[in-house]
A and B are shown apart, each in its own frame.
Chain A
Amino acid sequence: MNTSNNALTEAVYYILLALVEPMHGYGIMQQTAILSKDRVRLSAGTLYGALASLLDKGWIEQLPEEGRKKDYRITPAGREVLEQELQRLAELLENGRNILNSQNE
């Protein structure tokens, strides 16, 4: 559960989004680059650390190993965090649009 009100970092946001489909580490990096049109590139160090702490929080889980590559997947708790983040982002977007658009009228 995301008990704090903190915004997710872009890295964590994209990692969670990518892991809606089971994926291994390198796949997450590629997926993030594709989703963000190459704007966000996760470094291996960032991703490794983030995966460890997300596992720790229970937002993602590791799937039984097949071969050498480890696959990860988002958990219901992680999905909940993503939903909350989406709401937060929607609020930011809505307020921004409302105020800027009313000024432009």
Chain B
Amino acid sequence: MEKKEIKKLWRFYSIADYEKEEAFLNEMARAGWNLTAVGFCRYIFRRGNEGEYIYKLDMVERTESDEVKESYFNFLTECGIRVVGEFKDWIYLQKRASDGPFDTKNDTYAKLRQVNKVYSFSLRTVCNLLRLFACVIIVLSIVQALMSNNVTVAEFCGGIILSVAVSSLIALAIIWVPIVNKLRRKVNKLIDDIGVNL
């Protein structure tokens, strides 16, 4: 029987659960499935040697210039690390297990650096969303004001303004508030560990 060489899996990890995502990828690698590509909730693995590679997630802002990104990627290559996948601001790093771990186990500073990147990213996302909603509402309000002689259009705009405002606030409250809170707790816990608050 021919052995399956490629495995495609769907998994959902929120941005705050990157550690679980890393654990999942490393577990796959230990079983001989090496990550080769990443998409939205989508992971593609190729059959390889068990435990040959280890994985880690890192974040590089998409807003960074190509030059900055390239210089970082070159640096990673120098360190024996391959970027096997990119999704949004995440990059998926692969390294030979025999070259040693990515960093010291339980290095609080390294963890804080990572979670801080994710935390800033989430806050930035929330701010951008708020800005976007505000723009939509302002534009619609202007249209509504200009069209005040046309009752149907004015009512239509009013309805949209209300629904955009309500649905965006609900989306923020349900999706992003828990994520930001979770990340904030992680940041605070690590800051406590470092002893800044002692």
Contacts and interface: CB of A to CB of B under 8 A. Distances in A.
Given A33-B100, A39-B104, A46 B81 contact: no
A41 to B, nearest CB: 5
Closest 5 CB pairs of A and B: A43-B103, A44-B79, A41-B104, A26-B78, A43-B102
A11 B80 contact: no
Among A25, A42, A44, A49, find the residue whose CB has the most chain B CB atoms closer than 10 A. Answer: A44
B13 interface: no
Contact of A45 (B74, B101, B113): B113
Given A45-B110, A46-B110, 8 more contacts: A9-B109, A24-B78, A25-B78, A39-B104, A41-B100, A41-B104, A45-B114, A46-B107
Given A11-B109, A48-B72, A69 B103 contact: no
A25 B75 contact: yes
A68 interface: yes
Contacts, number: 50
Nearest to A9: B109
Interface string A24-41: 111001000100001111
Interface residues of B, number: 21
22 contacts: A9-B109, A24-B78, A25-B78, A25-B79, A26-B78, A38-B100, A41-B101, A41-B102, A41-B107, A43-B56, A43-B103, A44-B75, A44-B81, A45-B110, A45-B113, A45-B114, A46-B107, A46-B113, A47-B79, A48-B75, A49-B113, A69-B78
